[in-house]
Amino acid sequence: MPPMEQQKLSGRPLVGQAISRLEGYEKVTGAARYSGEFNVKDLLYGYVINSTITKGKIISIDTSKAEAIPGVITVFHHGNRPSLAWFSMQYADMDAPPGTPFRPLQNGEVKYNGQPIALLVADSFETARYAATLVKVVYTTEEFQTDLIGNMAKARAPKGGLATFLKPPPPKPFGDFEKAFEAAPFKATGKFIHGTEHHNPMELFTTTTVYNGKGKLTIYDKTQGTVNCQLYVANVFGLHFKDVRVISPYVGGAFGSGLRPQHQLFFSVMAALELKRNVRVTLDRHQMFTFGHRPPTVQFTRFGATVDGKVTALNHEAIAETSRFEDYTEVVVNWAHMLYPAQNTLFKYNLVPLDVFSPLDMRAPGGSTGLHAIESTMDELAYQLKIDPLELRLINYAERDESTDRPYSSKELRKCYLQGAEQFGWNKRSPEPRSMRNGHKLVGYGMATGIWEAMQLPARAAASITTEGKLKVNSAVTDIGTGTLTVMSQIAADEMGLPLEDVSFTYGDSKMAFAPIQGGSFTISSVGSAVKAACNALKKKILKKAKTMDNSPFKSHKIDEVVFADRKMISIANPSVFISYSDIIAANDHKVIKSVNFAMPKALKLKKYSRAAHSASFVEVEVDEELGTINVTRAVTAVAAGKIINPKTAKSQILGGMVWSISKALREETISDHRFGKYMNMNIAEYHIPVHADIHDLDVIFVEEQDDIVNELGTKGVGEIGLAAMPSAIANAIYHATGKRINQFPIHFDQLL
């Protein structure tokens, strides 16, 4: 439907409006129920027992003391577990990297510290947790390695596989990097070290499995993919796909940790099937550190430029941790050449398998890692050249993606730079490091660029006009707190010409129309397009029905000759000819009109373009000259991400990413002790994320960007782009303030003493 026409007929479209999230009331009043809050009758509680060694074998498990505790039902372990799927493949979920997925309780082998090795089931969580301490496990131990830095010599290329579809390997080299770098009059190099991070969403991973008898299960799970979990459970436990229903109505944050089914799902289902009872398994905060994490990395950069600042040589190499059983990869080194059109490039990405659990996508995986190295090396180059860092970006602005030799479907990064700089007051920056101050504080300005690929996956949605003439839409997609419910409702309402209150979007249930896992910033483009497609199919059905009515004035109308507005279908040629949805339903014998449709990315067309959201962040820091303490006093992030469906929820995404940037650059780290092969700060008192007192003035700009290629909605997604640029901008601002270039994250203030 032509948008202008619709606007004329029904007022302002909802898409583009800053609508508050529709489930906000439920969330702030506590009415929203999360997976651990479905209090079904006769519930049993499972508590996971974790290995206390890093590598070796379980010799024996003595459960007698635990089982003597009143309330304890049983202890499951590798020695007494039910038989499970035989092939590793059956444990592979939609997000499984190449390798053999971890299989809980497969055998007595311990592959990493904290591995779940048993499940104690009792009639209360507290009893289960206490009794779990009485289970005595005897191991033989083997030597292990968990230290990336100490094992870099073992780096090797990752295995190929399906995963490379969304995570392509490094681009091929161009020209002759070594020669060009050698010849470049200006050079900047860096070694960047990032530690392990854990997602730590506020909501703990919990599964409540309701046993419906005869192998039928209703599972309330914390996940980013209901269908993914349904598939996993059906495969692993040999159940019929349709007998497994996974529901996830609210998700208290996940940040990637819910992309793969986590082991509490496995345990809850196993116990429910075996005991034929309802079973809940909750991981405690400590156990939230016993599955996926952002892998530690070491990166090396070498950039060369001409005297006038043209980058001629780009080299970016990364070495990342993975587990011994899967080759988890992320896109770390592919960005530099997408941003800067150098003629000579060299990119490498290698893995070191260690005795840890497989890493897992964590918000802006790879991007937030790689862009720190790229953008801080660009910053260094700017200082060497004595060119303003922003100017250097403009000198090297890529009009097309040289790494794949394709045009961008749209790219308004220049506007991000200019509008962001303007809003921030970048022109007040004095070029020299340590040249700005405020009392005891050195003041620094830093900026950096962000980029994140705009992806779309196939997804389905179902739409129907109810007997009351209202619209119902559903999709199995989750809402991980991003505002999915709200934006899908907006899209559907506009498509059908309805006010928001006439639309109900239901989601988070594997029974509903298929949706992929919710991640990679691709939900709006994938599921949003499916919602649009389902509505379009519904419109055709409505027209078809209208044509069958006696004396129908629509008999000769084609679908592009009608609009859907004001709860009606209206003839464009003659707006006095219309039929309301309730009349259509009446004509349909008061039966619901339904449609289900797929939205597929238009692969052939898309292949011709690079598609990415862009951003630019500008940051002011104050560093106490004597004590080193760092405050991010101001920051502006300007984003070009295509059509913004809802500026309010989108802004919240970017703000969240900016807070996380402060976290990444200055706060969070999982501390390891490699002598024990384990993490040491497995709680959120010691795993530091920012507190209110760390957050000052944050500003978001969405620049206008029209994209007719990327998908039907013109959206690029905003989930990760907020975390792409700003960590590096913080490091760059610290350099400007202090003259110290710290390339290790998080930056500790004592490094500035």
Partner 1 sequence: MQDALAKINISQKHRAVAGGTNLIDLMKYFITDAAELVDVNTIPQHHAIEELPDGGLRLGALTTNAETAYHPLVESRYPLLSKAILAGASAQIRNMATNGGNLMQRTRCYYFYDVNTPCNKRTPGSGCAAIGGYNRTMAIMGTSEHCIAVFPSDMCVALAALNAVVNIEGPDGDRQLPFADFHRLPGDTPHLDNNLKDGELISSIDLPAEGFPQHYSYLKLRDRNSYAFALVSVATAFELCDTGISKARIALGGVAHRPWRVTEAEVFLNGKDPVRVNFEAAADIILQGAVPFEHNAFKIELAKRAIVRNCMMALDPDTQLPGAQPSH
Residue range at the interface with partner 1 (CB under 8 A); choices 233-241, 436-444, 458-466, 504-512: 436-444
Q: Which is nearer to partner 1, 30 or 439 (CB)?
A: 439
Give the helix, strand, coil percentages of the chain, each rounded to 5.
30, 25, 45
Rounded least distance, CB 221 to partner 1, Å? 25
How many CB atoms neighbour CB 227 within 10 A?
A: 25
Q: Which is nearer to partner 1, 656 or 746 (CB)?
A: 746
* Tokens 């995963």 found at: 163
- Out of 142, 178, 432, 673, the residue judged to bind partner 1 by CB under 8 A: 673
Residues 6+ apart with CB under 8 A from 242: none
Q: Which is nearer to partner 1, 312 or 631 (CB)?
A: 631
- Out of 439, 550, 589, 590, the residue judged to bind partner 1 by CB under 8 A: 439
Residue 214 touching partner 1 (CB under 8 A): no
Q: Which is nearer to partner 1, 180 or 619 (CB)?
A: 619
Q: For 504-524, b where at least 16 C-beta lie within 10 A, e where not — what string?
A: bbbbbbbbbbbbbbbbbbbbb
The full DSSP string for 379-400 is: HHHHHHHT--HHHHHHHT--SE
Rounded least distance, CB 478 to partner 1, Å? 30
Residue 296 touching partner 1 (CB under 8 A): no
User: Is residue 333 within 8 Å of residue 318, measured between CB atoms?
Assistant: yes
The rounded distance, in Å, linking the Cα atoms of 49 and 60 is 14
The rounded distance, in Å, linking the Cα atoms of 57 and 108 is 5
Distance of CA 724 to the CA centre of its chain: 12
Rounded least distance, CB 433 to partner 1, Å? 21
The rounded distance, in Å, linking the Cα atoms of 279 and 258 is 20
Give 420-451 as a 3 state SS string: HHHHHCHHHCCCCCCCEEECCEEEEEEEEEEE
Q: Which is nearer to partner 1, 7 or 60 (CB)?
A: 60
Hey, is 220 helix, strand or coil? strand
What letter does residue 33 receive in the DSSP assignment?
A: P
- Out of 111, 198, 441, 539, the residue judged to bind partner 1 by CB under 8 A: 441
Residue 422 touching partner 1 (CB under 8 A): no
Residue 31 touching partner 1 (CB under 8 A): no
Which positions from 344 to 373 touch partner 1 by CB under 8 A, shown as an x/- string?
A: ------------------------------
The rounded distance, in Å, linking the Cα atoms of 540 and 546 is 10
* Residue 491 token pair: 């899209």
Residue range at the interface with partner 1 (CB under 8 A); choices 12-20, 230-238, 256-264, 671-679: 671-679
Rounded least distance, CB 49 to partner 1, Å? 12
- Out of 124, 438, 556, 574, the residue judged to bind partner 1 by CB under 8 A: 438
- Out of 56, 175, 215, 690, the residue judged to bind partner 1 by CB under 8 A: 690
Q: Which is nearer to partner 1, 248 or 287 (CB)?
A: 287
Hey, is 660 helix, strand or coil? helix
Residue range at the interface with partner 1 (CB under 8 A); choices 262-270, 358-366, 387-395, 621-629: 621-629
- Out of 26, 274, 566, 624, the residue judged to bind partner 1 by CB under 8 A: 624
Residue type, 405: D
- Out of 671, 697, 704, 708, the residue judged to bind partner 1 by CB under 8 A: 671
Residue 138 touching partner 1 (CB under 8 A): no
Q: Which is nearer to partner 1, 274 or 694 (CB)?
A: 694
Residue 753 touching partner 1 (CB under 8 A): yes
Residue 681 touching partner 1 (CB under 8 A): yes
* Residue 5 token pair: 């026409």
Rounded least distance, CB 257 to partner 1, Å? 22
Cis ω before 746 (30° cut-off from 0): yes
User: Is residue 508 within 8 Å of residue 479, measured between CB atoms?
Assistant: yes
The rounded distance, in Å, linking the Cα atoms of 542 and 536 is 10
Q: By rule CB under 8 A, what count of residues binds partner 1?
A: 34
Q: Which is nearer to partner 1, 300 or 749 (CB)?
A: 749
How many CB atoms neighbour CB 415 within 10 A?
A: 17
The rounded distance, in Å, linking the Cα atoms of 412 and 207 is 43
Q: Which is nearer to partner 1, 18 or 753 (CB)?
A: 753
The rounded distance, in Å, linking the Cα atoms of 461 and 449 is 35
Which positions from 494 to 533 touch partner 1 by CB under 8 A, shown as an x/- string?
A: ----------------------------------------
Q: Which is nearer to partner 1, 560 or 750 (CB)?
A: 750
The rounded distance, in Å, linking the Cα atoms of 313 and 180 is 6
Residue 631 touching partner 1 (CB under 8 A): yes
Q: Which is nearer to partner 1, 276 or 440 (CB)?
A: 440
Residue range at the interface with partner 1 (CB under 8 A); choices 180-188, 246-254, 628-636, 726-734: 628-636
Number of Cα atoms under 13 Å in the Cβ half of residue 638: 22
- Out of 667, 707, 710, 719, the residue judged to bind partner 1 by CB under 8 A: 667
Rounded least distance, CB 673 to partner 1, Å? 5
- Out of 194, 260, 316, 678, the residue judged to bind partner 1 by CB under 8 A: 678
Residue 675 touching partner 1 (CB under 8 A): yes
Rounded least distance, CB 629 to partner 1, Å? 6
The rounded distance, in Å, linking the Cα atoms of 702 and 420 is 10
Hey, is 182 helix, strand or coil? helix
Q: For 62-74, b where at least 16 C-beta lie within 10 A, e where not — what string?
A: ebeebbeeeebbb
The rounded distance, in Å, linking the Cα atoms of 263 and 226 is 15
Rounded least distance, CB 678 to partner 1, Å? 8
The rounded distance, in Å, linking the Cα atoms of 334 and 337 is 7
User: Is residue 271 within 8 Å of residue 80, measured between CB atoms?
Assistant: no
- Out of 68, 138, 162, 627, the residue judged to bind partner 1 by CB under 8 A: 627
The rounded distance, in Å, linking the Cα atoms of 424 and 579 is 52
- Out of 688, 712, 741, 744, the residue judged to bind partner 1 by CB under 8 A: 688
- Out of 483, 628, 677, 719, the residue judged to bind partner 1 by CB under 8 A: 628
Residue 202 touching partner 1 (CB under 8 A): no
- Out of 106, 629, 633, 744, the residue judged to bind partner 1 by CB under 8 A: 629
Residue 440 touching partner 1 (CB under 8 A): yes
Q: Which is nearer to partner 1, 650 or 659 (CB)?
A: 659
Rounded least distance, CB 745 to partner 1, Å? 13
- Within 242-359, residue ranges assigned H as helices are 263-275, 336-339
Residue 70 touching partner 1 (CB under 8 A): no
Residue 686 touching partner 1 (CB under 8 A): yes
Rounded least distance, CB 440 to partner 1, Å? 6
Q: Which is nearer to partner 1, 558 or 692 (CB)?
A: 692
Q: Per DSSP, which regions of 503-611 are E strands?
A: 503-506, 562-565, 568-571, 578-580, 593-599
The rounded distance, in Å, linking the Cα atoms of 464 and 467 is 9
Hey, is 176 helix, strand or coil? coil
Q: Which is nearer to partner 1, 418 or 689 (CB)?
A: 689
Touching partner 1, residues 40-59 (CB under 8 A): 52
Hey, is 326 helix, strand or coil? strand
Residue 133 touching partner 1 (CB under 8 A): yes
The rounded distance, in Å, linking the Cα atoms of 748 and 742 is 9
Q: Give the footprint of partner 1 on this chain (CB under 8 A).
A: 52, 133, 438-441, 624, 626-629, 631, 667, 671-673, 675-676, 678, 680-681, 683, 685-686, 688, 690-694, 748-750, 753
